[in-house]
Each structure stands twice: as C-alpha cells, then as structure tokens.
Amino acid sequence: MLNTNSFKVVWWAILVISLGSYLYLRQDQLIAGKPTYFDVVVFLVWISVCLAPIFKEIKLFGLELKQDIEQLKKDISHQLAIMKVELQSSIEVSSSNTSNVHINSGAPIPASDAQIPDIKQHLAETLREFGIGQAELLFTQGIPQENIDLFKVRLSFERLINDYSRLNGIDPRRNPMHKIVRDLQRSEIISPNISNGVLEILAICNYAVHGEEVSESQIAFVLDAAPGLYQALKNELQTN
C-alpha cells in the first residue's frame, strides 16, 4: 500500500497543503522580516516537497530529498555484496600466493645417492619417448673461456665463505651469498673494504655465469684483483 502511486500522490498533497497552510498563517511575520529558524526550515522543506515530482534528487541549501529511497538501499546493498565477494577473492588469492611462497622459497635439494638410480631410469625412459638415446655433449662448447674463468673465481670465493659459515653454525643454503658477506662485515669478521671488493667481484662473476654480457674491463678487473682479494679474505676468516 505504501508503494502505490495513489498513496504517494495523496501523501505529497497533504504535505504541500499542511506546510503551505503553516506558512500562510505565518505570512505577517514573514513579510515583516521576522522569521524564526523553524519558519526557514519549513519553507525549505515545502519548496523541496513541491519540486519533488519534477526532480528525482533535490539539494537545496544543504537539504537533500530523494524519491527513490528503496532503490538507493538496493544499490548500496548490491555494492556491498560485490565488495564482499571481491574481498573474499582477494584474501583467497593472497593466502594462495603466501602458501606458494613458503613452499617454493627454498632452493631445490639435490637427490640422495639412493634416489639417483630411480631418477636416472625415469629420465632415460623420458628421453626414449622423445627419440633420444645416448648422447654426448660438451657443455663448455661455445662458451668463452672468460666466462669459465669467472665461474671458477665465483666458485672459489663461495667455497671459502661457505666452509667458514658451516664451521660457525651458519647454513649457507638458507642465506644468499651477499647476505652472508654483509653479515660477516657487520660482525667485524671481515673489513668493509674486503667485503665490498668481494661483492663487486661476485656481481661481475654472476653476470657472466648467468649468460649476461660483461665487458673486457670487468673481466680484466676480476682476473687481476681476485687472487689477492681471495688471499686477504682467507686470512681474515682464519684470524677470526
């Protein structure tokens, strides 16, 4: 009943007539320029009610009236439902990503000697499916000698640092090499100049090992500085 057009028209007419009658009875004070605050409010409401059939939304001196209140409620409920679904989806995706990070963050663990025969047999069967039998390949073929030399330099430094780490209860598999070097510097086990030099050399070597281009100057710097720096690092680690 409250939503029928006839009721709306009757209710609108009652409001217009009632508010208009109040203003008519107050016309002497209004004409004399002595309106009260309540008179102003009633006048604004009366104007808004009169204009309501023409405009769906009226804003007059801060007073706002809407015809479609129920529709507005439905729109708000719909938007809240959409936001709830999006929030739940975001939480699920975030939880999934977090799980993947925790699961896959560690470095792959090499297979044990007992597992090697089964893995080898499985790989042989897979290669036969692709029509590949016994094959010989020189993995250094096509690789510049400079890249191989830089790999040897990096391996030498990493072995030295990893051996020291294991002796002091640090698992190098759980910490990147640059972090271990910085931790050694902060612990004053190695000097800042030595740690900075080691990191510079490792950075260039890593580029070469991962197939990035390194300049002749960078290669010459590593091959020239690495032997002395390696010995200095070894001396500091042995001293501490």
Q: How far apart are CA 56 and CA 70, in angstroms?
A: 13
Burial classification of residue 84, based on how many CB atoms lie within 10 Å of its CB (0-12 exposed, 13-18 middle, 19 or more buried): exposed
What confidence tens digit (pLDDT) does each residue in 118-173 have? 888 888 888 787 777 766 555 666 788 888 999 999 999 999 999 998 888 877 77
DSSP string over 108-148: PPPPPTTTHHHHHHHHHHHHHHTT--S----TTTT--HHHH
Name the region of 97 (left: φ>0; alpha: ψ -120 to 50; beta: rest). alpha
pLDDT of residue 230: 94
Task: Give the model's pLDDT for residue 75.
Answer: 59
Task: Tell me which of 138 and 196 has the higher pLDDT.
Answer: 196
User: pLDDT, tens digit, for every residue of 40-97?
Assistant: 777 777 777 776 665 554 454 444 545 455 555 555 665 565 555 556 555 555 554 4
DSSP code for 168: T
Are 162 and 171 in contact by the 8 Å Cβ rule? The answer is: no
pLDDT of 222 > 90? The answer is yes
What pTM did the predictor assign?
Answer: 0.50
